[in-house]
Amino acid sequence: MSAGQAAENPFIHCRGVSKYFGNFKALDEISIDIEAGEIVCIVGPSGGGKSTLLRVLNALEPIDSGEIQIDQIKLPGSRKDVEDIRREVGMVFQQFNLFEHMSIRENVTFAPRMSRKMSTENANELAENLLRRVGIAEQIAKYPNHLSGGQQQRVAIARALAMQPKAMLFDEPTSALDPEMVAEVLDVIRELAESGMTMLIVTHEMGFAKEVSDRMLYMSGGRIIVDSETQEFFQSVDNSDLNQFLSKIL
Amino acid sequence: MRFEWDQLIRYGPELLQAFGVTIVISAISLIIGIVLGMIACLGKLSGQGGAYRLSIAFIDFFRTIPEVVLIFWVYSCLPLLLSVRISSEACGVIALSLFSGAYLAEIFRAGVLAVPRGQVDAAHALAIPRLHIWRKIIIPPAIRRMMPAFVNFLTELLKATSLLSAIAVAEMAYVASILGAKTLSYFEFLSAIAVLYFILIFPFSVWARRSEKKLLQRTGH
Ligand SMILES: Nc1ncnc2c1ncn2[C@@H]1O[C@H](COP(=O)(O)OP(=O)(O)O)[C@@H](O)[C@H]1O
Ligand SMILES: [Mg+2]
């Protein structure tokens, strides 16, 4: 695929997306295009709308105006469109959100069985492979509350991958972790990045963002203030807001 | 005063039958109450529209009026309103079902709302169809979380059946007072049913306390 074609058909496309909570404008006319295989990290102050942006991309929150298109499927759309988009886009949450009453195996096989109608046998095999990939195959029969935070987040990543999504959204995947567990989760995300997955990652881990991302977004007040190629973002972007933010966090 | 065991033995079969009536009326009211409660719970959870307002009205009304008033109302007014004859047992079941439905709706709703929102989000994000989200993600943990309140309610319902003596339903309290009046052995019969109520209800109280403890251990707060 040539660069020209890709630009006409971005994998994720947002045009003028706004989202209100009551009278509060959480997203203010967001427009971005993300190419297939691109890795984009989003940074910015708390309350800036980062989580909301990821949530509208997965149709967890309806949008009030504008348009989203992911792999040719449009939002707002029918219930089927919403399910189709969710099948294409996996999501990992800050608080893991594993199903507490299900074993690790059930957590990972649930979506392929229910949503992709995969046989239990195939789903089990898939789960074993994915859990091996994230390094916790031996925990498969346990329940989430018997795992450490880092292990739970790796299960959550495996659970999202079990849908075989084309893109992954990460909402501060390491923010709820004890410091010593951050690395094991970042390693898994790094491995995914190398495999060519399209990813949108909200993070405060600047070193990690700098290392894996192709592009950086700085969000504040519901807007994308800076959208720039990674190297440029850290070296030469001249935005007082961003510079202040970076000097505080780095 | 002498405890007249022979009176108790003579009228034992009547008392046992009344014990059965108490259980059967509770069971039927509970089942209808569960159905009503689920409907009203879903209505209230829907958050807007006609079903929502109707559910709120149902829940608030039947939780607020005293049970005895409800029982008398169903017994004295409902037959006039519908111009049909309704047996006192049926009246009792209707009143206790409405009472149960209103209370259980709130108990169910609290259980559903206690399921962590993040797990429901995660299920949506995985494209799980809505029905499966209810069946597999919301209801099982909700049941576990509502169990102590549910069993507690069961003890309230069993006690409330004694109010049906006011409309001459042949449950334990009524039969004991009738037998007491007939034989003048009030002490024997009322003591006997106190023991029977205790035997019936106490295990549920223990169960409620145990399930609460288990839940606290499990959720950790
Ligand atoms: N469900 C909600 N209801 C009301 N306000 C919300 C809701 N979700 C987010 N917000 C508000 O929207 C703003 C953006 O939130 P969020 O997207 O979570 O920011 P970030 O992830 O950048 O910290 C915040 O001010 C937050 O309080
Ligand atoms: Mg956030």
pLDDT over threshold 60, residue A4: no
The CATH number assigned to the domain holding B68 equals: 1.10.3720.10
pLDDT band at residue B114 under the 50/70/90 scheme:
very high
In a domain, B2, yes or no: no
CATH of the domain at A87: 3.40.50.300
The DSSP bridge partners found for residue A70 are: A12, A73
pLDDT tens for residues B133-186?
Answer: 999 999 999 999 999 999 999 999 999 999 999 999 999 999 999 999 999 999
Predicted pLDDT at A8: 65
| Phi, psi dihedral angles at B120 (to 5 degrees) | -70, -40
Classify residue B7: in a domain, yes or no.
no
Asked if residue A21 is part of any domain, the answer here is yes
3-state secondary structure of A139: helix
Of the given ranges (B1-10, B98-107, B163-172), which has the lowest mean pLDDT?
A: B1-10
Residues ≥6 apart with Cβ < 8 Å to A135: A154, A184, A188
Q: Which of A162-171, A207-216, B44-53, B208-217 has the lowest mean pLDDT?
A: B208-217
A80 inside 8 A of chain B by CB: no
Residue A204 has pLDDT above 70, yes or no: yes
pLDDT-derived band of residue A5, with 50, 70 and 90 as boundaries?
very low
> Is residue A141 in a domain?
yes
- Asked whether residue A3 is domain-assigned, the answer is no
- Amino acid sitting at position A87: R
Point out the residue among B122, B129, B137 whose CB comes nearest to the CB of A115: B129
Residue found by looking up tokens 């229910």 in the block: A114
Determine if ligand 1 sits within 6 Å of the CB of residue A220: no
- Total domains, chain B: 1
- Rounded to the nearest 10 degrees, the angle between the axes of helix B139-160 and helix B186-219 is 160
Predicted TM-score (pTM) of the model is 0.86
| pLDDT number for residue B216 | 85
Q: Is A203 close to ligand 1, i.e. is its CB under 6 Å away?
A: no
Closest Cβ opposite residue A114 in set B119, B121, B132: B132
Total number of domains in chain A? 1
User: CA A33 from chain center: how many Å?
Assistant: 15
Cβ atoms of residues B152 and B210 within 8 Å: no
Instruction: Please state the atom number of ligand 1 nearest to the C-alpha of residue A48.
Output: 22
In this structure, is residue A224 part of a structural domain?
yes
Our measurement of the distance from residue A209's CA atom to the centroid of its chain's CA atoms, rounded to an integer in Å, reads: 13
Residue numbers of the domain that contains A217: 12-249
Better-predicted residue by pLDDT, A167 or B218: A167
Report the relative pairing of strands A24-34 and A12-21 from DSSP bridges.
antiparallel
**b/e sequence A216-250, b meaning 16+ C-beta within 10 Å:** bbbbbebebbbbbebeebbeebeeeebeebbeeee
pLDDT of B1 higher than 90 = no
Mean pLDDT over each residue of chain B, to the nearest integer: 95
Considering the domain boundaries, does residue B181 fall inside one? yes
CA gap B211, B145 in Å, rounded: 9
**Residue B35 domain-assigned (yes or no):** yes
Domain that holds residue B112: 12-219
At B220, the pLDDT band (50, 70, 90 cuts) reads low
Model pLDDT for residues B29-88, shown as the tens digit of each residue: 999 999 999 999 999 999 999 999 999 999 999 999 999 999 999 999 999 999 999 999
Q: How far is the CA of A27 from the centre of ligand 2 (A)?
A: 13
- Contact with chain B for residue A170, Cβ under 8 A: no
How would you classify residue A49: left for phi > 0, otherwise alpha for psi between -120 and 50, otherwise beta? left
Residue A110 — pLDDT band, cuts 50, 70, 90? very high
Residue A6 pLDDT grade (very low, low, confident, very high; cuts 50, 70, 90): very low
